[in-house]
Structure 1
């Protein structure tokens, strides 16, 4: 069985809340931050309802989860005080991860800021060496995440991650987290040649180092280097390509984690698409979401086909306008799902459903060629 889940909240009752939220989406894995990703405030890990959370995980067959390190850790900085903080704080996060019994903590390698990429690679390797030297009593791996190339971040190319690893004397606890949005925006052709990308990864780093995959569609075209996630199918990677990745024989055994955005036309009422995305990628929509879900997707397909709207073409053309025509974007900056939702409401289709439920069915419509005609 595939291990597909999402990023979930660790607030409130810690691991218990996280596990229960993950189960509500139909997850078979999940990812957490052990505290807010943008600050240092942390509750004692011993008070985070760990055993209760593990009990829920066991009950629902979840046997592997992932921790993500805070964004405020930057091992690439040239400022000594910030570097020392990054090393110390990452060590603390690794100890918290170890207490949870989790084997991989995902880390953005770092940014070189006012220096250059060579400096960044060397500085990150120096930091990782110090970090690992201070947590030898744990079994936690640091999974370096492939990055999109935004700003001065390091890790946009496999070669950069390989160089970091090579410069860490004892690198046995270094693994890799592959992010689909980041790969796409870094210029890797995961849409048409994911096999080739995996081969390049294997030759440069080694597939034995691949430990986690982040599943995200992208709001940008290949090579944009901006790191903007989209719901599965609503971006420029597309459902078909992400489904191929999920089911790839060299990927499918790993924890596959969604970090797709929560959406709503009304600010403050955003909701996740995780339940629909997980069911679609698992290939068990009817058993998870019910026959009515498929009936609704079929109604949407009939409606959009009548108006000559193709899922993939519509998404690509909408993003083309939003990315290349500043005037059109200013006049109508609605993203693909927003536009489709407005068409559905104007036609008074599925009026018995909430906005969240309609959006779930629109995500299903992006995959309609696979789930209705397979």
Structure 2
């Protein structure tokens, strides 16, 4: 089965998100843990979550890939911003325990001129503060396009962060197709080679989810502008190759394309038709 879904608004609560996913024929989905452009989070409604967990079991929703807000920067040059990232992520991971055994994805951050090695060290320091042995959530580092001073533009940078994390069983990776393409990885003409490179450098056992997006930009542009499936420079054929790749096909695929409800439903239906059972 193709495990596919999209980003769903958390405004109506968990049960509302689950119902939206089912209406799209999704069996996985993503949501922002709080305001993606701020830091405020809704109060946990335990009754809503109890109903949601039951709804997921009844409707075969198998995985959530929660997303941290964009405002976090664990490798900022300012200590107060790094502290905000630690506090927010620690709180998010406590909240994720209400929906255990899922994923929490975040953008590693931007070193803002401090240098890559300092940025990598600061991100790992953040993770070593927030990760706890008893947590049931796996935290995912997202591969980035490399605009500005972003950390995570290469598999080597992601691996360098992972190597400094103490609780190795709590850390994984989310690969974004738009980001790696914009970052210079040729998933159109050499997907097998990119997958092998990922395995050699990071290890495929670390890859837990894929953000499936087309790109408005050319390969290596380092710009990070998502496009609808089949309407960008990656193209439908290449993205169909991703969902059917023998080493990737079992993963949850999350659409982050510029779409509305009907658009996501159409993309999910199209990709299900392209998936080889």
TM over 0.5: yes
Q: Is the contact made by 2:185 and 2:220 (CA closer than 8 Å) also made in structure 1?
A: yes
Per the TM alignment, residue 47 of structure 1 is displaced from its structure 2 partner at its CA by: 4.4
The match for 1:277 is: 267
Q: Could you tell me which runs of 5 or more consecutive residues in structure 2 were left unpaired when the two chains were aligned.
A: none
- Equivalent of 1:205, from 199, 202, 217? 202
Question: Take 1:173 and 1:54, find their aligned partners in 2: how far apart are those partners?
Answer: 22
Question: Take 2:25 and 2:15, find their aligned partners in 1: how far apart are those partners?
Answer: 16
Q: Is the contact made by 2:228 and 2:257 (CA closer than 8 Å) also made in structure 1?
A: yes
Q: TM-score, normalised by structure 2?
A: 0.95
Higher RCO structure, 1 or 2 (CA under 8 Å, sep 6+) = 2
The match for 1:130 is: 129
Q: Is the contact made by 1:6 and 1:30 (CA closer than 8 Å) also made in structure 2?
A: yes
Q: Is the contact made by 1:67 and 1:102 (CA closer than 8 Å) also made in structure 2?
A: no
Give SS of 2:97's match.
helix
The match for 1:74 is: 73
Per the TM alignment, residue 271 of structure 1 is displaced from its structure 2 partner at its CA by: 5.4
* Residue range with higher mean Cα deviation, 53-62 or 232-241: 53-62
**1:225-374 paired onto structure 2 within 5 Å:** 225-262=222-259, 273-283=263-273
- Indicate the RMSD between aligned Cα atoms, in angstroms: 1.7
Looking at CA atoms only, which structure, 1 or 2, has the larger radius of gyration? Answer: 1
Alignment CA distance shift 1:117-1:272 (3 Å): farther
1:147 matched to 2:164: no
* Residue range with higher mean Cα deviation, 144-153 or 58-67: 58-67
Alignment CA distance shift 1:144-1:217 (3 Å): same
Q: Is the contact made by 1:15 and 1:48 (CA closer than 8 Å) also made in structure 2?
A: no
Q: Is the contact made by 1:187 and 1:222 (CA closer than 8 Å) also made in structure 2?
A: yes
Q: Is the contact made by 2:108 and 2:151 (CA closer than 8 Å) also made in structure 1?
A: yes
Q: Is the contact made by 1:78 and 1:123 (CA closer than 8 Å) also made in structure 2?
A: no
Alignment CA distance shift 1:155-1:52 (3 Å): same
Per the TM alignment, residue 82 of structure 1 is displaced from its structure 2 partner at its CA by: 1.2
Per the TM alignment, residue 102 of structure 1 is displaced from its structure 2 partner at its CA by: 4.1
Per the TM alignment, residue 243 of structure 1 is displaced from its structure 2 partner at its CA by: 0.6
Question: Take 2:101 and 2:77, find their aligned partners in 1: how far apart are those partners?
Answer: 31
User: Can you list the C-alpha shifts for 1:221-253, whole angstroms capped at 9, x where unaligned?
Assistant: 000111100000000000010011011111111
Question: Take 2:34 and 2:156, find their aligned partners in 1: how far apart are those partners?
Answer: 31
Question: Take 1:48 and 1:114, find their aligned partners in 2: how far apart are those partners?
Answer: 46
Question: Take 2:114 and 2:27, find their aligned partners in 1: how far apart are those partners?
Answer: 42
Per the TM alignment, residue 54 of structure 1 is displaced from its structure 2 partner at its CA by: 2.4
Per the TM alignment, residue 170 of structure 1 is displaced from its structure 2 partner at its CA by: 2.9
Q: TM-score, normalised by structure 1?
A: 0.71
The match for 1:332 is: none
Q: Could you tell me which runs of 5 or more consecutive residues in structure 1 were left unpaired when the two chains were aligned.
A: 263-269, 286-374
Question: Take 1:79 and 1:60, find their aligned partners in 2: how far apart are those partners?
Answer: 45
The match for 1:3 is: 3
Question: Take 1:4 and 1:65, find their aligned partners in 2: how far apart are those partners?
Answer: 11
Per the TM alignment, residue 116 of structure 1 is displaced from its structure 2 partner at its CA by: 1.3
Alignment CA distance shift 1:66-1:271 (3 Å): closer
Question: Take 1:72 and 1:140, find their aligned partners in 2: how far apart are those partners?
Answer: 21
Per the TM alignment, residue 35 of structure 1 is displaced from its structure 2 partner at its CA by: 2.0
User: Can you list the C-alpha shifts for 1:249-307, whole angstroms capped at 9, x where unaligned?
Assistant: 11111111000002xxxxxxx6551111111111179xxxxxxxxxxxxxxxxxxxxxx
Which structure shows the higher helix fraction? 1
Question: Take 1:271 and 1:103, find their aligned partners in 2: how far apart are those partners?
Answer: 24
